[in-house]
Amino acid sequence: MTGIKAATIAILSVASLATAGCTTTQKTLAGAGIGGASGAVIGNAVGGSGGAVIGALGGGTVGAVAGRNMY
């Protein structure tokens, strides 16, 4: 298993456990935070500071949608 794949699985597992019993708004905000931070780190590694900004925006958006739809 690659490092990125293992990290992704770990992040999703922690996010699932952390949002158990939370409201939809709390899940949305948590997803946006986790996605934005992850996107910024990965974007910075791939494309420097410009990549970090784009990664944070994309990751935050996807994280918010995923968190909102998490049951």
- pLDDT per residue as tens, the chain (71 positions): 577 788 778 877 877 776 677 888 888 888 899 899 989 999 999 998 899 999 999 999 998 998 888 77
- The whole-angstrom separation of Cα 32 and Cα 47 is 21
**Burial degree of 56 (CB within 10 A; 0-12, 13-18, 19+):** buried
Question: Can you give the pLDDT at residue 51?
Answer: 92
3-class SS letters over 8-61 = HHHHHHHHHHHCCCCCHHHHHHHHHHHHHHHHHHHHHHHHHHHHHHHHHHHHHH
Q: What is the pTM of this model?
A: 0.67
